[in-house]
Structure 1
Amino acid sequence: MPSRRALLAGLAAGGASGLAGCATGGGGSTFSPGRDADTEWPLPGRGPRATNYAPDGVAPRTPPTERWRAETGRAVGRPVVAGDTVFVPAEDGLHALRLRDGEERWHASIAPYGVAVADGVAYATSREEPAAYAFEAGSGERRWRVETAADFGAGPLPAPSGDAVVVGDTDGRVAALAPRTGETRWRFRAFTGVYSLAARDDRVYVGTTGGEAYELHVVEPEDGTVRGVPLWRRKLPGTVRALSAAREGVYAATFGGGLFRLATGAAAGRTVWHARDAPTVTDALVHAGGLVVGVGPDGVAAVDAATGRGRWRTTTDRAAPASPPAAAGDTLYAGVGGSLRAYALGGGVGVGPYRVDVERWRRSLPVRSVVVADGALVVASDDLDGSPGVAVLE
């Protein structure tokens, strides 16, 4: 498994430019198929910036075949992939499955909500008990368990610096835990429960159930302590369901209130643009090149990252369940209305929002979540021939 610093350096570079294998021009974006068949997805948003995009990742552009499937409990968070292992937070515990064939490597009998892997350690937060965990990723041996005052509504976020794991609970407490011991390095208290997290460099972004967005600056004064200092707080119209951090600002998707690009640093959270008719997304945004893409019950919408203007959109005949999206190379993947669907990330052929050939393929499969890894799609489903589990499609 590559070192966390080496992996996140690559992820950060991809998140900053978003255009490896991609060119823009004439107000549109053209994306190229990926070349890297060894893609990993170690965090729920792939990297700490939560772009949900592997710029050079290989993934199925035509209808895929099944590599394997494995029964687990119903997934309660997004699977992640690090090295040769798929980690699945499920109702019956945390599963570690071999990526090649689905064989179970180990299983932890906890009640996980989210999982993330960094430097050979799998971190998990729990929704049904006030605790966070760290396990050796290879063996499942528990490194530490930390009790907290409340349970969790967001997955853990290993910080870009590598010296902390950020967690946020349903009472609004944000804490940075030491990776080796679980000891608290710094704390911050939001007004309402934490729902989404993202990070860039020494900044941590927090979204809450009450519609607040925060930018925290992680500083280390001369006395050797570490602090998460709030730079700004912004009230938005609805639960902040997803965040994606970029150098030019932070993108925030709200429940029923549209999509925002907020300025960072000295601009103190001001609105750069507001896409009011963006879909209510399901827990993730894709930030790919010049696009920000959201998937929700009413379809898929891509907006211009610089201006917030609509670039392309698909709609469903009626409101339908949707999964968090993932993207690799030139293709976007999401579960919509009982099917796994692949879309041309650049929006197919056409001018403005009027497009054809946006959808590349679909497969009848109820999807709870999907990520890209190892040239394939890792899909958590509530119904694999009647049982919940995970399938790998290639």
Structure 2
Amino acid sequence: MPSRRAFLAALTAVAGCTNRSSESTESSRRSATDTASSATATATATPTNGTVPVRWRHETPHEALDVVALAPGADGPVVCVGSDGGGAGEGGHALHAVGLADGTEQWRVSLPAPAVTEPIYAEGEAGPRLYVATRVTDGAAELHAIDPTRGTRVWEFDAPERRRFYPLGTTADTVFVGTRDDDVSRSGETVYALAAGDGHERWRVESGDALPSGHAVRRETLLVRTPARVRALDAATGAERWRIDSSTAIHGPAVDSRGERVFVGHDGAVRAVGLGDGRERWRRDVEFTMSRVVTPREAMSTTVFVGDRAGRLLAVSPLDGETRWTLSVDTDGFRPSVARTSERLYVGGPGVYALDPVSGERAWSFTPPAVEVGVHASTTVFADVRGDRIHTFDPADGTERWRFTPESRPSGPATAGNLAFVGVGGTVYALDGSRTASESS
């Protein structure tokens, strides 16, 4: 199975090329038990939503989809698709692996309930694993470990009654998960370390409610974000190395590209602390209400970005906390998303802003009225407008190539190279961002 570096390279190679063939190839990796009822994929350029170019489409037996994410597969990257809780459809709930290049189904794993987290990937002596959590049913949720080379469940782990699961991160031989019930408690929940091979418990520690994001594993340290608290745990033993408590919400943690410093915003300040010891490296007081602290991992970014709810984004040096440049936008409640390529920085908020990552100089922008936009950038720039529609832009000058506005709320997108993978109803679409609307006609 590929390493993370090889996986990212394969994403670029597969999704960056433009294949306009109208023929699809049957995958030789279909599960024998699922072949008879497998969903279909059509690798055609038939437009949907009027003039949107579609590389391929894959129809599942489900009434709706929730999870649409990218993961490694046996023969290269795949799109993982999970059924939504609104309706299972034929065959019940499942997680599907769909080929990135042509949309053919490679395997399907039945699940007792809808998947509620995107699969996370790890590989080690026990082999490759995908981990996904399902919704609470009959009083409990489950974590499922899947072998992506065969499309089979290896083991399951049940949460305590009425708890939800959130995968927090992985090492080669361990997956870490946290539980959650009411979203506000600093205690009464648990972080588990489970063996990749068979799911047996290596250790557990008491914790607060695990939040959906803000966790990481770096250099054998597990960072866990719970309400108003960040903890650093020894990944091998669960022993607490350090913690940060706050009287207000915590933003971050974010980790620098070398995995040496952790950046956290709370109580009117941004702090840099050492990953291993929690010792403060620098502290910067701010006179605004923070909304986000983030360090994009793309292109080995060496900048910390701090969001101001009043409409500013500060690019901060990770070495001393000094401001390098500031972006100001006209909005309230600014919670920026940030994506980085080797050439540009893209900021989502009330629109999309393409910036020089060194100077902050604005190259172009797209600002639809009164919406919040999430940004995804690779070979093509995609904008996710409040989960209702998708726009795509030429990264050089911001020219809009097309927009996708489905009749029902889309799931995703997951993006790679020139492709955006979106679920609408029970169908997954691979939308081609390298082409304009006129080229799809």
TM-score normalised by length of structure 1: 0.63
**1:200-211 residue pairs with structure 2 within 5 A?**
200-208=218-226, 210-211=227-228
TM-score normalised by length of structure 2: 0.58
- Which is bigger in relative contact order (C-alpha 8 A, separation at least 6)? 1
Mark the runs of 5 or more structure 2 residues left unpaired by the alignment: 17-50, 182-188, 285-303, 314-332, 433-441
Letter in 1 for 2:234: V
Work out whether residues 332 and 344 of structure 1, in 8 Å CA contact, stay in contact via their aligned partners in 2: yes
Letter in 2 for 1:246: S
Quick one: structure 1 residues 9 and 36, their matched pair in 2 at CA, closer, same or farther if it must change by over 3 Å? closer
**1:20-99 residue pairs with structure 2 within 5 A?**
36-37=13-14, 64-71=53-60, 72-83=62-73, 84=76, 85-91=78-84, 92=88, 93-99=93-99
Matched, 1:216 2:205: no
Quick one: structure 1 residues 74 and 233, their matched pair in 2 at CA, closer, same or farther if it must change by over 3 Å? farther
Shift of 1:138: 3.8
Work out whether residues 12 and 416 of structure 2, in 8 Å CA contact, stay in contact via their aligned partners in 1: no
1:302 & 1:79 partners in 2: Cα distance? Answer: 25
Matched, 1:299 2:347: no
Q: Which of structures 1 and 2 has the bigger CA Rg?
A: 2
Shift of 1:87: 1.7
1:245 & 1:65 partners in 2: Cα distance? Answer: 37
Letter in 1 for 2:422: V
2:429 matched residue in structure 1:
391
Q: Residue by residue, what CA displacement relative to the aligned partner does 1:164-212 show, whole Å, maximum 9, x if unpaired?
A: 112222155322221111122333444333221233332333333x343
1:8 matched residue in structure 2:
4
1:234 & 1:292 partners in 2: Cα distance? Answer: 32
Q: Residue by residue, what CA displacement relative to the aligned partner does 1:93-120 show, whole Å, maximum 9, x if unpaired?
A: 3321331334362231332211223333
Matched, 1:164 2:202: no
1:169 & 1:294 partners in 2: Cα distance? Answer: 32
Matched, 1:275 2:275: no
Matched, 1:227 2:238: yes
Q: Residue by residue, what CA displacement relative to the aligned partner does 1:105-153 show, whole Å, maximum 9, x if unpaired?
A: 2231332211223333221112323321112224443211111225336
Residue identity over aligned pairs, in percent, reads 20
Shift of 1:244: 6.4
Aligned residue for 1:335, secondary structure, equals: strand
Mark the runs of 5 or more structure 1 residues left unpaired by the alignment: 15-19, 21-33, 40-61, 221-225, 350-356, 382-386
Q: Residue by residue, what CA displacement relative to the aligned partner does 1:29-85 show, whole Å, maximum 9, x if unpaired?
A: xxxxx963368xxxxxxxxxxxxxxxxxxxxxx974331232334333442232254
Shift of 1:233: 1.9
Work out whether residues 274 and 308 of structure 1, in 8 Å CA contact, stay in contact via their aligned partners in 2: no
Shift of 1:371: 1.8
Matched, 1:179 2:228: no
1:260 & 1:77 partners in 2: Cα distance? Answer: 33
What is the aligned residue count?
Answer: 318
Aligned residue for 1:195, secondary structure, equals: coil
Quick one: structure 1 residues 229 and 310, their matched pair in 2 at CA, closer, same or farther if it must change by over 3 Å? farther
Aligned residue for 1:227, secondary structure, equals: coil
What's the C-alpha RMSD, in Å, of the aligned pairs?
Answer: 4.3
Work out whether residues 253 and 262 of structure 2, in 8 Å CA contact, stay in contact via their aligned partners in 1: no
Match of 2:155 among 128, 144, 157: 144
Letter in 2 for 1:116: I
2:268 & 2:343 partners in 1: Cα distance? Answer: 18
1:327 matched residue in structure 2:
377
